[in-house]
Structure 1
Amino acid sequence: MDTSKHDQNLDQHSPLPNITPNLADLAFSLYRELAHQSNTTNTFFSPVSIAIAFVMLSPGTKGDTHIQIPQGLNFNFKETVQTDIHKGLQHLLDSLNQPDDELQLTTSNILLIDENLKQVHKFLEDVKRLFHSDALATDFQDWARARRQINEYLKNKTQGKIVDLFSELDSPALLILVNYIFFKGTWVHPFNQKRTREENFYMNETTVMKVPMMFQSRAIKYLNDPVLPCRLVQLDYTHNGTVFFVLPDEGKIDTVITALSRDTIQRWGESLTRRHLNLYIPKVSISGACDLGDILRDLGIADLHNNKADFSGITREASVSTPLKVLHQSRLQLDEKGARANAPAAITAHAVSEPLTVRFDRPFLLLVFDHFTWSSLFLIKVVNPT
C-alpha cells in the first residue's frame, strides 16, 4: 500500500496524518493481545472505534488516570499535542460517519452513568458536541430495571444492531462506556451470487462445518508471502474501504498475527500483484462483544479499572470506588453485493490464462482499512464463520 498517495488527499490542515501511525501501533498491539486469548473463537474488534472512545473519555479524567490513557493508546504528547489528537480523531469520526448508500458505517459511544452521581455537565455537553456521543443517567442501584432500560436504549439508538448487550449475569458499575461500530460495504467487484455454494470449512484437524462460500474469478491483487507463512488477497469496497484477506499456512496463524505491524502492511501493499484467481471466501455476518478491562490493564491503563481512577471531570465525586466497565461491540457483514450486483466479474487482458485457486476454507485473518486514511476499521481472526 502506498500511504503517501492517500495522505496527499487529506486536508492539509487536518491533524489526522500525525496520529495515523499511533493508531496503527495500537491496532496491532490490541490484535495480538486479543487474538492470542483463544484458538477456538473469533477475534473481532475495531481499533479506530476503541481509540475514539478513550480519547473521548480522556477529558473526564484527572491525575495519573489522565496520563495513562494517551500512553496506553501509544500517543506521545511530546510529538503530538493533546489538541491535535482530539481534532484528528474528531475529523476521522466525522469522515467515517458520512451517510452513504453504498457503504454503511456507524460508530459511536454511549456513556452510562449512575444517576446518583453528581455529573459535570460541561463534559457531557462536550461528549455530545465533539464526538456525537450520548450520556444516559439511570439508577444502577435497581440493576434489573436499569439493565432493561439500557438494553432498550441501545437497541433503539443502534437501529437494532445491539440487542441484549447486558445479560442477567452482568454486574452494575457506576460508569459504563459502551463503544460500538457497524460496517457493511459494497464491493467494487461483486461476487457471483449464483456461484455461492455450501462448502466445507476446516475449523481445525477434527472439526469441519458447512458454510456458504462466495466465488469470483478475475484479476485480483495477490501475494504468496516469501517472508511469512501465508497468502493474501486485497479487495476493495466502493469509496473508502479496502480489505486484506490473509490465509496463514495450517497451524501458522499465531506466527502471522505476531508479525503484524505497520511495516508488514506496508510491505504487503508494495508486493501485491494482480493475478487471475478463482477466489472462494465464506459469506458471513460477524459480530463480537468484549469487555476490554483485562486488555486495557495490559496496555497500562490500569486506573480505569480500580479504585484509583480519577473521574472528577465526569462526576464531582472523584473517589469512584466501582471500576469503570468498558464494553466494545462490533459487527461486520460480508456478502456478494457490489456496485454492479448483476454484472459478471471482469477479467483484465493481462490476466494469466490459467487461474490460481485460493480457498479461504480454514481459519484466516481479515483486516479492514479506511482507504483514505489507512486507519484500521476492523481486525478479525475468523476461526468459526458460522
Structure 2
Amino acid sequence: MDMDLCLTLLLICLCSQGATNAEETEDQSIPLIPLIPSQPIEEGQSQGTSEPATLIDTTVSAPSVPPTNSTSPDEEEGNSCQAISQSPDTKQTITAAIQRLGVQLLQNLETSTEQPNVIISPLSISLALSQLALGAKNETEELLMFHLHNNSIPCYHESLHNVLRQLRNRDMQIATRMFLRQGFEAKQDFVSESLRFYDSEPAIVESLQQINEWVENATQGKMTDFLSSLPPNLLLMLINAVYFKGEWKARFDPNFTSKGVFYLDDLHMVDVDMMEDTKHPLSFLIDNELEAQVARFPFTNDMSLLVIMPESGKVNVTSLSSYLNISDLYERLPKERAVQVKVPKFKLEYSQELQEVLTKLGLGEMFLNPNLAGIADGPLPVSSVMHKSGMEINEDGAMAAAATAVIISRASNPIFHLTQPFFFVLIDDVTQIPIFMGVINNPNPGAPVLQRVEFDKDKVGFPVDKNDMGSFVNPPK
C-alpha cells in the first residue's frame, strides 16, 4: 500500500439566526464556519426578498471585444495581474506567507492526552480563508489579507490560483465545492469569482449523503461519513479538500520492519512498528541554531517530507520558529548519502476547533462583526472553524527506514533514528509550499506508555548504542 496523506479541511456555512450552538455542533466531525445573518431566512426565500430564490447562474460572460489597436483599462489591469501572478517573486511571497501561517498555527495549537499530535494543512487553511476573503469588504478584507500575506501581493487571488494550478499537476488533488440551500441566493460576483479563482462550483444541498459522498470522492475514499449531520438552518457551505498520495523514491523492505520504541520524553516511551534500512539514501544535517537533526525524504514526483528532530527530545515550535526558515533549511541540505535510518510507521487523525487559535493570531474580529457583504447582505459573523486531517506512513509510501540491532552493531554508515518527537513538513519541491505540517509527539497514541529505565552499558555485558541508552523497560541480566 502506498503512503496516503489526506486532509479535508474547511466547511464554511452560512446559517440563519440561532443556527448552531456548542451542543448542536459538538458531534460534528466536519470542519465548519457557520456565518449567521441578522434575520432568519424562511425556507424558499432569499435574504431581502419574499420571492422564492433559485441558484444563480454562475456562467461568466465573455468580455466584450475592444476596438482594434485599443486596450481597455480592464485589459490593462488583467495583463498586469497576469504578469504579477506569474512572477517568481510573487510565488516566493505566497510560499513564505503559507509557511508563516502554518508555523503560527502550530505555535498556538495545544496537544492533549487524547490528541498528542498536531497535523494541519497550511495550504488548505490558506485556501479556505482566501475564498472567504472573496466575500469580505473593507476592514474585514484588509484583516484577512494581512494575515494571509501581509498585504504584500497585488492580484492575490489570481496569484494563488496559479500556484494551485501548478500543484494540481502533480500527485496532489485539491477539490473545492460550494453547497447552497435551496432558496438562498449568494451574490453573483462571489459565486463567479469562487469558480474562477478556486474552481468552487455551486450545487444545491440535497442531503447529508450528498455532501459525505463528495468528501469521500475528493479524498479517494479515505474519509467516509465525514459529516454526522447537516448544520441547522444551513444556507451555504464552502468545502475544500486536499489529498496527496505518493511513493518514496527509495522504498524499504517490509521484512525489516520490526517492533521498536519511540521515546516520548526522558522518562517514557511507547512501542511502535519501526521501518529500517542500513544504507538509505538520505540528505540530512545537524543544525546548531535549531539544535536539531534535519532530514529530507523525497517522493517520486517533486514532493518531500522534511523532518526536524530536536536534540532535546521535545518539540517547541515557538523556540524553533526563531530560527526556522523552511525554504532556507531546504536549500541548505547537502547531497544524499547512505545513512542508517529508523522511521516509525503510523496512521493518525487530527481534528480541532480553530476559533481560539485564529483569535490569538488576531482574527478575532472575524467571529464578532465581520463585513462579508460580498457574500450576502446583513451581518454574517463566523461562529466556528473546525479542522480535520489524516496521515499515514508505511513501507511503500516513505523514503525512510531503520536498522535492526544486529545491523546497527556492524553498520559503518551515519545514523538517523527518528525515535523521538519531531516536527515535519510535507513540502512541494518546486514551490516549497508546505502542503502538510505538524508535530508528532506519539506515533502510537493507543499503546500503553512504558517507563524508561536507565542502565550502564558497561555493566550489561554486551555493546549498546549510546543512542539507544535507556531503551529497555527492564535491563538485561
Same fold judged by TM-score > 0.5? yes
2:185 matched to 1:118?
Answer: yes
Q: Give the CA deviation at 1:135.
A: 4.0
**Contact map agreement 2:111 2:117 (CA 8 A) in 1:** no
The residue type paired with residue 159 of structure 2 is: G
Question: 190, 205, 225: which one pairs with 1:164?
Answer: 225
- Corresponding residue number in structure 1 for 2:105: 30
Question: 81, 87, 93: which one pairs with 2:158?
Answer: 87
Give the distance between the partners of 1:325 and 1:134, measured in 2 at CA: 23
> 3-state DSSP class of the match of 1:253?
coil
2:286 matched to 1:235?
Answer: no
2:452 matched to 1:385?
Answer: no
**Contact map agreement 1:24 1:262 (CA 8 A) in 2:** no
Q: After TM superposition, list the pairs within 5 Å mapping 1:68-83 onto structure 2.
A: 68-76=143-151, 79-81=152-154, 83=155
The residue type paired with residue 181 of structure 1 is: V
The residue type paired with residue 179 of structure 1 is: N
Question: 34, 39, 60: which one pairs with 2:135?
Answer: 60
**Contact map agreement 2:285 2:294 (CA 8 A) in 1:** yes
- Corresponding residue number in structure 1 for 2:408: none
The residue type paired with residue 65 of structure 1 is: T
> 3-state DSSP class of the match of 1:190?
coil
> 3-state DSSP class of the match of 1:165?
coil
Q: Give the CA deviation at 1:268.
A: 5.9
- Cα deviations across residues 216-255 of structure 1 (Å, max 9, x unaligned)? 2234212122222321211111222022122222443116
- Cα deviations across residues 282-304 of structure 1 (Å, max 9, x unaligned)? 12233333332222222222233
Change in 2 beyond 3 A, CA 1:290/1:134: farther
**Contact map agreement 1:247 1:363 (CA 8 A) in 2:** yes
Q: After TM superposition, list the pairs within 5 Å mapping 1:222-301 onto structure 2.
A: 222-254=284-316, 258-259=320-321, 263=325, 265-267=327-329, 269-270=331-332, 272=334, 274-301=336-363
Change in 2 beyond 3 A, CA 1:42/1:331: same
Q: After TM superposition, list the pairs within 5 Å mapping 1:1-386 onto structure 2.
A: 12=87, 15-34=90-109, 36-38=110-112, 41-76=116-151, 79-81=152-154, 83=155, 85-98=156-169, 103=171, 105-115=172-182, 117-138=184-205, 147=208, 150-167=211-228, 174-204=235-265, 207-216=268-277, 217-254=279-316, 258-259=320-321, 263=325, 265-267=327-329, 269-270=331-332, 272=334, 274-306=336-368, 308-315=369-376, 317-320=377-380, 323-337=382-396, 354-386=412-444
Q: Give the CA deviation at 1:69.
A: 0.7
- Corresponding residue number in structure 2 for 1:350: none
- Corresponding residue number in structure 2 for 1:349: none
**Contact map agreement 2:180 2:237 (CA 8 A) in 1:** yes
Give the distance between the partners of 1:171 and 1:230, measured in 2 at CA: 48
Give the distance between the partners of 1:324 and 1:298, measured in 2 at CA: 15
**Contact map agreement 2:134 2:193 (CA 8 A) in 1:** no
Q: Give the CA deviation at 1:47.
A: 0.9
Aligned length: 350
The residue type paired with residue 160 of structure 2 is: L
The residue type paired with residue 289 of structure 2 is: V
For the aligned residue pairs, the C-alpha RMSD in angstroms reads: 3.4
Percent identical residues: 23
- Cα deviations across residues 112-135 of structure 1 (Å, max 9, x unaligned)? 445454322332233233212244
Q: Give the CA deviation at 1:371.
A: 0.5
Give the distance between the partners of 2:397 and 2:120, measured in 1 at CA: 24
**Contact map agreement 2:212 2:224 (CA 8 A) in 1:** yes
> 3-state DSSP class of the match of 2:106?
helix
> 3-state DSSP class of the match of 2:290?
coil
Q: Give the CA deviation at 1:28.
A: 1.8
- Cα deviations across residues 195-215 of structure 1 (Å, max 9, x unaligned)? 112222233456543322112
**Contact map agreement 1:235 1:244 (CA 8 A) in 2:** yes
Using structure 2 for the length normalisation, give the TM-score: 0.64
The residue type paired with residue 248 of structure 2 is: W
**Contact map agreement 2:98 2:126 (CA 8 A) in 1:** yes
The residue type paired with residue 195 of structure 2 is: K
Q: Give the CA deviation at 1:12.
A: 4.9
Give the distance between the partners of 2:88 and 2:126, measured in 1 at CA: 21
- Cα deviations across residues 157-182 of structure 1 (Å, max 9, x unaligned)? 43323333334697776554433322
**Contact map agreement 2:106 2:317 (CA 8 A) in 1:** no
**Contact map agreement 2:285 2:333 (CA 8 A) in 1:** yes
**Contact map agreement 2:280 2:340 (CA 8 A) in 1:** yes
Q: Give the CA deviation at 1:185.
A: 1.4
- Cα deviations across residues 252-271 of structure 1 (Å, max 9, x unaligned)? 31167543655365146425
Using structure 1 for the length normalisation, give the TM-score: 0.78
- Cα deviations across residues 272-323 of structure 1 (Å, max 9, x unaligned)? 46443210111223333333222222222223323x12222222x3223x53
The residue type paired with residue 173 of structure 2 is: T
Q: Give the CA deviation at 1:107.
A: 2.2
The residue type paired with residue 328 of structure 1 is: H
> 3-state DSSP class of the match of 1:218?
strand
Larger Rg: 2
Give the distance between the partners of 1:159 and 1:311, measured in 2 at CA: 33
Give the distance between the partners of 1:271 and 1:17, measured in 2 at CA: 19
Give the distance between the partners of 2:214 and 2:333, measured in 1 at CA: 47
Give the distance between the partners of 2:320 and 2:202, measured in 1 at CA: 37
